[in-house]
Structure 1
Amino acid sequence: MINFHYSRASDVADAVQQIRADPAAKFIAGGTNLLDLMKEDVERPSLLIDITRLPLKTVGETAGGGVRIGALVPNSDFSYHPLIEQRYPVVSSAIRAGASQQLRNMASTGGNLLQRTRCAYFYDTVTPCNKRTPGSGCSAINGINRGHAILGTSEACIATHPSDMCVALLALEATVHVAGPKGERAIAIADFHRLPGDTPQRDTNLDRDEIIIAIELPAQGFAKNYTYLKIRDRLSYAFALVSVAVGLEMDGGTIRQARLALGGVAHKPWRDFAAEAALNGQVASPETFRRAADVLLRDAKGFAHNTFKIELARQAAMRALTQAANGTPQSQSNKKIA
């Protein structure tokens, strides 16, 4: 049994003040990840600060032609909002590919950004894990690592980031807005999550006394030529072995601009500008897609049980690029790969 105190934040400033005062405090909104971590004794907060009544639940257009989504907008509302479905369908598709409808109804947009890895060793408190106990070791490197990272790994950690939504946000170059004791600041989604390095206990560059208040999407949404393809062990609720978010701006059969991001392969959603450069200005063809996939995975490294993910990621990237170029995005209701 974990003993903890409970309080409710009255506004954003109060939420920041409360969490700043207690280094062991945690914010709670939907609780779809935090409560699991508490049940498994991975997280032991001294105080839960309820932020569900903060005014962070709206979706609206920005002056620059983009869309701003409040941090407390449920994933289901985010996915099915008309502005998102029409302008940013890759995000709608990615969210619907993740979790169950019940979880999407509870999970918040800000909470989705802060999901922690589902590595079994991270959840198993009797095994060494550098994310849970820095300096104790990484059990996955020489353990059962079928679902683990093949890109951006370190000797300290080979865990993967679990979010589907964040892969699409990375492809769209979203911005995360946060508030803290020094006021508000904006963090590019590419800089929000971290690779493990020698500090795998830090998942993001969010300071512990800051709170996410919104996500902002730019005007360019790649609404015509896009896809979100998720490869998993079963078609029901499961985390990705490999996922791919693609957005293309096409000029006839030529790719004018490409965005390509991978999930399930690294400690953070993975994007490679060199792979996108290999697509820009090229004819959309199997040869072009293979060259880009080869660039994307040039530094991939497998471990004992997950080497298959390198070729799986290559084939998934090629298939996703084909879907996007053809304007035939992957369906999330009929999950048979198009």
Structure 2
Amino acid sequence: MKAFSYERPKTVQEAAQLVAERPGAKFIAGGTNLLDLMKLQIETPRTLIDVNRLPLDQVAETEGGGLRVGALVRNAELAAHPRVRRDYGVLAKALLAGASGQLRNKATTAGNLLQRTRCYYFYDTTKPCNKREPGSGCSAIGGFNRIMAVLGTSESCIATNPSDMNVALRALDATVETLDAGGAARTIPIAEFHRLPGDRPEIETALKPGEIITAVSLPKPVAGTHVYRKVRDRASYAFATVSVAAIIARGEDGKPRAARLAFGGLAHKPWRVEAAETALVETGSADASADRVLEGARGYGSNDFKIPLTRRTLRAVLTEMA
């Protein structure tokens, strides 16, 4: 780990100003991802801006009947919140499927949003990786790529976003609230927050330099049964091979009348295809819905199995909900 300076700002705007003024500065809260990367010298921030004492650790009701989740709310706390468990069950289930109990006690809402989209080769500094060193190449293409993406990939990167929380937020149509160094606030739809790799895989989100996440807003709850299914190599603690966040409302005849489906483990960002939801409502068929989700899917050898696995996982979700 390389030497760094340390700052503890007293206000949110001061934190944003410090990061904007100091090249190479990083925010730190739980540090569950950042500290690992610092130990391996993959991340080498010159300054750490400790935001743990900022007033961003509350969950509050909104006027529209939704929830506003502060950036520093811990994953364990959010999963246990009564309103989240009652009205946003898919989020509570996704959070509990992520990491370990110890990590959930430390990890924050904003930190989970911002954890690096990564693969084996991102950690291996002896191998080329366009995320670590833009232009150096992607070792996963042609290498061992079992956990890699099959959708939204590019010739520069085929890594997957590892977050379970992000998949649930995509199904819920959450928005991300930010503040910049000048005090200007903005909201970013979760659909636009994470980027596909294109030819700049090192840029993973829509955040501007110096912006700090202040909260995540959940809209008014939607009716339906909430399920989060995570398929992974070991149940105790592993990233998703494929995951599905589903909210489905059924009519009196038992057929879906409204659906939201978001997928993890398949792309550089949480993957949601509204046409797949429409197909499920119109046909009631998991296969018709999966056809829309998997349009353009491409395996890279070791991860070819993810394409049929996605179809089977969606079927299992619909069977569970029925």
Q: How high is the TM-score relative to the length of structure 2?
A: 0.97
Aligned to 1:335: none
Contact in 2 for aligned 1:122/1:131 (Cα 8 Å): yes
Aligned-pair CA distance for 1:118: 3.6
Contact in 2 for aligned 1:33/1:116 (Cα 8 Å): yes
Aligned-pair CA distance for 1:170: 0.1
Contact in 1 for aligned 2:14/2:181 (Cα 8 Å): no
Q: Work out the CA distance in 2 between the residues paired with 1:210 and 1:195.
A: 20
Contact in 1 for aligned 2:286/2:311 (Cα 8 Å): no
- Deviations along 1:210-243, whole A, 9 cap, x unmatched? 0110001111244x41200000001101100000
Aligned to 1:112: 112
Secondary structure class of the residue paired with 1:280: helix
Q: Work out the CA distance in 1 between the residues paired with 2:226 and 2:316.
A: 12
Q: Report the count of equivalent residues.
A: 320
Aligned-pair CA distance for 1:98: 0.5
Structure 1, unpaired ranges of 5+: 327-338
Find the partner of 1:312 among 295, 309, 313: 309
Secondary structure class of the residue paired with 2:281: coil
Q: Which amino acid counterpart does residue 278 of structure 2 have in structure 1? A: A
Contact in 1 for aligned 2:24/2:45 (Cα 8 Å): yes
Contact in 2 for aligned 1:27/1:48 (Cα 8 Å): yes
Aligned to 1:208: 209
Contact in 1 for aligned 2:240/2:264 (Cα 8 Å): yes
Q: Work out the CA distance in 1 between the residues paired with 2:51 and 2:319.
A: 42
Aligned to 1:260: 261
Q: Work out the CA distance in 2 between the residues paired with 1:210 and 1:95.
A: 25
Aligned to 2:3: 3
Q: Work out the CA distance in 2 between the residues paired with 1:238 and 1:68.
A: 29
Aligned to 2:149: 149
Q: Work out the CA distance in 2 between the residues paired with 1:321 and 1:266.
A: 22
Aligned to 2:287: 290
Aligned to 1:125: 125
Superposition map of 1:51-70 within 5 A: 51-70=51-70
Contact in 2 for aligned 1:230/1:243 (Cα 8 Å): yes
Q: Which amino acid counterpart does residue 31 of structure 1 have in structure 2? A: G
Q: How high is the TM-score relative to the length of structure 1?
A: 0.93
Q: Work out the CA distance in 2 between the residues paired with 1:215 and 1:44.
A: 27
Q: Which amino acid counterpart does residue 90 of structure 1 have in structure 2? A: V
* Residue 101 (structure 2) pairs with residue 98 (structure 1): no
Aligned-pair CA distance for 1:273: 1.2
Aligned-pair CA distance for 1:280: 2.5
Secondary structure class of the residue paired with 1:168: helix
Aligned-pair CA distance for 1:281: 4.2
* Residue 296 (structure 2) pairs with residue 299 (structure 1): yes
Contact in 2 for aligned 1:176/1:212 (Cα 8 Å): yes
Aligned-pair CA distance for 1:295: 1.5
Q: Which amino acid counterpart does residue 300 of structure 1 have in structure 2? A: A
Aligned-pair CA distance for 1:208: 2.3
Aligned to 1:329: none
Q: Work out the CA distance in 2 between the residues paired with 1:117 and 1:279.
A: 29
Aligned-pair CA distance for 1:317: 1.4
Q: Work out the CA distance in 2 between the residues paired with 1:293 and 1:2.
A: 46
Aligned to 2:238: 238
Q: Work out the CA distance in 2 between the residues paired with 1:34 and 1:135.
A: 23
Secondary structure class of the residue paired with 2:280: coil
Q: Work out the CA distance in 1 between the residues paired with 2:216 and 2:227.
A: 21
Q: Work out the CA distance in 1 between the residues paired with 2:319 and 2:205.
A: 32
Q: Which amino acid counterpart does residue 20 of structure 1 have in structure 2? A: A
Aligned-pair CA distance for 1:323: 2.1
Q: Work out the CA distance in 1 between the residues paired with 2:311 and 2:215.
A: 33
- Deviations along 1:34-61, whole A, 9 cap, x unmatched? 0001011110000000000000011011
Secondary structure class of the residue paired with 2:261: strand
Q: Work out the CA distance in 1 between the residues paired with 2:236 and 2:13.
A: 40
Aligned to 1:220: 221
Aligned-pair CA distance for 1:207: 1.2
Secondary structure class of the residue paired with 1:303: coil
